[in-house]
Amino acid sequence: MEAGAARELKITPIRNGTVIDHIPDGLALEVLRIIGGGRLGRDSTVSIALHVRSAKQGWKDILKVENVELSDRAVNAIALLAPTATISIIRDFTVREKHPVALPDRIDGVLRCPNFECITNQSEPVESSFEVAHRRPTRLRCRYCDEPVTDFLPQLP
């Protein structure tokens, strides 16, 4: 066989749905939890590739979810956990949209505030809201109590 001719297909293409690529190595299961992996319908087959060689990252994870397009809230949560991720929307086996995740200036309803005294953790019906205080490394600040947040995984619902 010629050099470069052998190419192993590890995950089959999907007809319709979402591909999340360039997830940092070892985080695909957390990303699946963020997008509601336990609540997906019977027509939403999920393919996960863990520890895949990547020219850019060294190692990465990939997640494919059939018949699902992500909400803005889910994309914002992914941007916090996997800022190097790329999201592709697939329709009829063709990539229709492809873009890297990006943090908005404000993130609402994605994380819990770590401050137990914050109004968002009381009985009031107040949705959490954070401003991006710093992008690299990512640091958020609660808009209600000014609590800083740098560790996002424990704050995800």
- pLDDT score recorded for residue 49: 93
- pLDDT score recorded for residue 58: 93
User: Contact, 50 vs 26, CB < 8 A?
Assistant: yes
Location of each CATH 2.30.30.20 domain in the chain:
106-155
Domain over 106-155 is classified CATH 2.30.30.20 = yes
Residuewise pLDDT in 10s, the chain (157 residues): 455 555 555 678 899 999 999 999 999 999 999 888 777 888 888 999 999 998 888 999 999 999 999 999 999 999 999 999 999 999 999 999 999 999 999 999 999 999 999 999 998 899 999 999 998 889 999 999 999 999 998 998 8
Strand positions, DSSP E, the chain: 17-24, 46-54, 58-66, 86-91, 94-100, 106-108, 129-134, 139-142, 148-149
Q: What's phi and psi for 31, nearest 5 deg?
A: -65, -40
Rounded distance, CA 69 to CA 35, Å? 10
Location of each CATH 3.30.70.140 domain in the chain:
17-100
- pLDDT score recorded for residue 123: 84
- pLDDT score recorded for residue 2: 53
> What pTM does this model have?
0.85
Which CATH topology does 17-100 take?
Alpha-Beta Plaits (3.30.70)
